[in-house]
Structure 1
Amino acid sequence: MKTSSILAGLATMSTCFGAPSLKRATWPDTPFSVSGRDIVSASGAKVVYAGVNWPGAADTMLPEGLQYNSIANIVGFVKSLGMNVVRLTYAVEVIDDYYANSPNQTLQNTLNHALGSTNGSKVLQQILKNNPSFTAQTTRLQVFDAVAAELAKQQIWVHLDNHVSKAEWCCSTADGNAWFGDTYFDVSKWQRGLGFMANHAKSWTGLASVALRNELRQGGADAQPYTWNAWIEDVIPAANGIYNNNSSPLIFFSGESFDTDDTYFIQRQTYNSETFTPSSYAFKNKIVYEIHNYQNSATACNQIQPGLYNNAYCAMNLTDTSCPNHGPVVMTEFGFDQTDGSSGSVYAQCIKNTVLNQPNGPGGWMQWTLSGSYYIRSGIQDYEDTWGLLNHNWSGWRNSTVINNFVKPFVQASR
């Protein structure tokens, strides 16, 4: 890899100019497609994602926070930042329950199942008070529909992310959701679920993109071999299933090692005669590469940036022949504890500069996370997440300094 001169160039650019001015998409201006290293709207405007993650894949299988605030108010917080996209996560278990006609699909039953009847009933009443259009019999999918509808009302795109198969907190190598064939990672049900959600979300005005799977990683003894050959043999049919059910959204591809390594498909490597060749697929104009980074302990940007370039961002450099499968790269997860104002840290500033200062502009980003708390996480009910932009009761920002000095400027610079 010839990274030294390229990284030097990036460093120079970061001090000379910010993101290029862009022709604005007239919302929603979908479907989006890929042109070279950019995402472009239906009218040909360049699109740069600037958004946040809204988790909905944990034990209750519901978007978080509705016991504390209304969907409209939560979306309003996102809108106030100037963000244009929400990464909305879901579990395949939602679709499995749909096909099984499980009674747990209703708000009442899913909350009782996850929280117990006493706390489940309490949280249900809180949700219904904040969101009076719901009833105890409203289903999980109807809640997701309502979130998507409000995001559309406030002109924010939806990026739909399959986070896990079995609904639970993610991620570890031992959670059964890690790799194809793992304890809970039934490949056929996963592929079915992706196709189902692509079709179901056709009615969502703001649906712009979908992802194949969050943070693929080494699995347990039941999993398939942890090789790129397993990846391509399972992923390509899954992507075709999305495209055949709904050809409109972009399709985000994630790599290995908790989605920190995209080298196989951007470098066009061959494993057991299997090669990822975008031009040969029906969805060739829909392919976006996603990357995650959580190197929070870094003391210098050069501990972060070379790996990000080699493992992902070289795909956006059209002159770099070492990564011939060029395309947009979106950092769909990065984040840090909000309580200490660490937006000025080496890590936070390096992520911001790396995303913004790619040759010819950024691809996009989505910060982890919006959630100030969870219905339940890792067995703890009403779990507080200090990484959340919102406070515990979803009534305001956890740290206004981070919002004003990091998040809002990052959004503005991404325009």
Structure 2
Amino acid sequence: MYLSKALGLLFATGPLLINAISSEPLSTSGRWIVDSAGNNVTYAGVNWPGAAEAMLPEGLQYQSIEYIVSKIKSLGMNVIRLTFAVEMIDDIYENGADVPIKTSLINALGEANGTSVYNEIISHNPQFNEDTTRLEVYDAVANECYKQGIYVHFDNHISKAMWCCSTTDGNSWFGDTYFNVANWHRAWTYMADHVKSLPAVKSIGMRNELRTPADNATLTSTSYNWVDWYANMVENAKQVNSVNPDLLIFFSGLNFDVDLSPIPTASDLGNGTAFHKTDFSFADKIVLELHNYDSSASSCSSLSSSLLSDGFEALETDDSSIVNVLPVVLTEFGYAQDSTTYTEVYASCLRTWIPSVHAGWMVWVLSGSYYIREGIQDYDETWGLLNHNWSDWRSSQTIENAIIPMVEASLG
């Protein structure tokens, strides 16, 4: 069954290669994302984190925004997944204004290191100064992406700014220690309105990697289920769409976003609840997103079969059991950037299978380093496409033999 489905997807009409992006919104048509002219659009890009304690897009102490975006563009990519924390928007509401980047860095790194990193940032990005706020930096990234022809997908990665993710970090599920649902809705209402002025921003990911709140047994037993997922995600989607009807809205799944299995078939989620895209006035704005880090996969056939059953079945147009035909984007997958890992089953399978079914994707991760990760400042990221100082690729072999071929297979 899975082989026939994969073959059916393989021969679907390919997407249009876009070298520049329009200010017009994107929509969906069946299993495709489409532009305003009706051309198929496939996302092929990279994650650019910004949701940790500094609450800024990473890497700006090493390179300019223009340079970093140009490196992304040089790969032929057409999208970034730019992450943020709800805490950034909470601060705006609580303080009446956004926090200056220098203050945010000092809060995250300490007075001496925060000031030093701030000075490095403005040396590479002289358009910023002590009055520049965090959200203005996000805006600058989005505007540079538009200038260079790259879409921006805003992702709410976490509530309390920190490295994500674990089942005990207080950010895992609706109502968890730091996951205030009302504040989450408020943040998305704010952001949906804010990005109206940013023509590169075409889509949003409502929440990254929903997962079991393992340190809260009561919340787990009473709320960690598909019915509560439906209620919270649908309500947030409605609020986003009411504020900004132009945005594509990505629905993520359970278990660290590896499971959306009930959605393609509109299966019973419990209590008679089922997801039917036709129930929504914004059905042409709904996209599914999944993650996968199954690096222990022993064969491509087993990995692709699991991806289909996890939710990629929504791409099917010739299977009567698929009720919700929708675009699906693999918004996170990744592996060590070295001379060998890209040749292994996991990386090589995704490199060929995802483009073959014309699914979108964003690899984790762009960052060669982080301002701070899990208490370690200037943390080196071995999965980063870029090296520690963001000046060049960490592994030219992976870039040349894996990343660029995957872009070309997706967009060519």
Displacement of 1:283 in angstroms is 1.5
SS in 1 for 2:404: helix
For 1:406, the equivalent position in structure 2 comes to 402
For 2:371, the equivalent position in structure 1 comes to 375
Unaligned residue ranges in structure 2 (runs of 5+):
none
Contact 1:103-1:109 at 8 Å conserved across structures? no
Q: Deviations over 1:338-381 (max 9, x none)?
A: 024321111111112221122xxx12110000000000000000
Contact 1:19-1:356 at 8 Å conserved across structures? no
Contact 1:83-1:156 at 8 Å conserved across structures? yes
For 2:354, the equivalent position in structure 1 comes to 355
Q: Supply the AA of the counterpart residue of 2:143.
A: A
Q: Deviations over 1:71-123 (max 9, x none)?
A: 00000100101100000000011110000117871111111110010100110
CA distance in 1, matches of 2:212, 2:374: 20
Alignment of 1:57-68 (within 5 A): 57-68=51-62
Displacement of 1:21 in angstroms is 5.9
SS in 2 for 1:100: helix
Q: 1:232 aligned to 230, 233, 257, which one?
A: 230
CA distance in 2, matches of 1:97, 1:374: 22
For 1:255, the equivalent position in structure 2 comes to 253
For 2:242, the equivalent position in structure 1 comes to 244
For 2:321, the equivalent position in structure 1 comes to 322
Q: 2:47 aligned to 28, 43, 53, which one?
A: 53
CA distance in 2, matches of 1:218, 1:249: 28
Alignment of 1:181-330 (within 5 A): 181-219=175-213, 220-221=215-216, 223=219, 225-270=223-268, 271-330=270-329
Q: Supply the AA of the counterpart residue of 2:230.
A: I
SS in 1 for 2:46: strand
CA distance in 1, matches of 2:197, 2:242: 16
Cα 1:301–1:213, aligned 2, differ >3 Å: closer, same or farther? same
SS in 2 for 1:274: coil
CA distance in 2, matches of 1:39, 1:5: 23
CA distance in 2, matches of 1:313, 1:297: 20
Displacement of 1:269 in angstroms is 1.6
Cα 1:99–1:187, aligned 2, differ >3 Å: closer, same or farther? same
CA distance in 2, matches of 1:26, 1:145: 19
CA distance in 2, matches of 1:159, 1:121: 30
CA distance in 2, matches of 1:157, 1:169: 24
CA distance in 2, matches of 1:140, 1:102: 14
Residue 172 (str. 1) matches residue 171 (str. 2): no
Q: Supply the AA of the counterpart residue of 1:245.
A: V
CA distance in 2, matches of 1:353, 1:397: 22
Q: Which moved more, 1:199-208 or 1:317-326?
A: 317-326
Cα 1:53–1:21, aligned 2, differ >3 Å: closer, same or farther? closer
SS in 1 for 2:263: helix
SS in 2 for 1:158: strand
Residue 87 (str. 1) matches residue 81 (str. 2): yes
Displacement of 1:5 in angstroms is 4.1
Q: Supply the AA of the counterpart residue of 1:89.
A: T
Displacement of 1:320 in angstroms is 2.0
Q: Supply the AA of the counterpart residue of 1:119.
A: N
Q: Supply the AA of the counterpart residue of 2:257.
A: D
CA distance in 2, matches of 1:84, 1:19: 19
Contact 2:20-2:149 at 8 Å conserved across structures? no
**What do you get for the CA RMSD once the two structures are aligned?**
1.8
Cα 1:104–1:165, aligned 2, differ >3 Å: closer, same or farther? same
**TM-score scaled to structure 1, two decimals?**
0.94
Contact 2:26-2:246 at 8 Å conserved across structures? yes
Q: Supply the AA of the counterpart residue of 1:327.
A: L
Contact 1:18-1:356 at 8 Å conserved across structures? no
Question: How many residue pairs end up in the alignment?
Answer: 406
Unaligned residue ranges in structure 1 (runs of 5+):
none
CA distance in 2, matches of 1:57, 1:294: 20
Alignment of 1:64-213 (within 5 A): 64-101=58-95, 105-213=99-207
Contact 1:25-1:45 at 8 Å conserved across structures? no
CA distance in 2, matches of 1:345, 1:23: 28
Contact 1:29-1:41 at 8 Å conserved across structures? no
Q: Supply the AA of the counterpart residue of 2:343.
A: G
Contact 1:37-1:328 at 8 Å conserved across structures? yes
Contact 2:212-2:224 at 8 Å conserved across structures? yes
Deviation >6 Å, runs of 4+: none
Contact 2:54-2:108 at 8 Å conserved across structures? yes
Displacement of 1:205 in angstroms is 1.3
Q: Deviations over 1:236-262 (max 9, x none)?
A: 110011101111111001110111101
CA distance in 2, matches of 1:165, 1:383: 21
Q: Supply the AA of the counterpart residue of 1:282.
A: S
Displacement of 1:318 in angstroms is 1.1
Residue 20 (str. 1) matches residue 14 (str. 2): yes
Cα 1:243–1:195, aligned 2, differ >3 Å: closer, same or farther? same
CA distance in 2, matches of 1:34, 1:45: 10
**TM-score scaled to structure 2, two decimals?**
0.95
SS in 2 for 1:145: helix
Q: Supply the AA of the counterpart residue of 2:233.
A: V
CA distance in 2, matches of 1:36, 1:4: 21
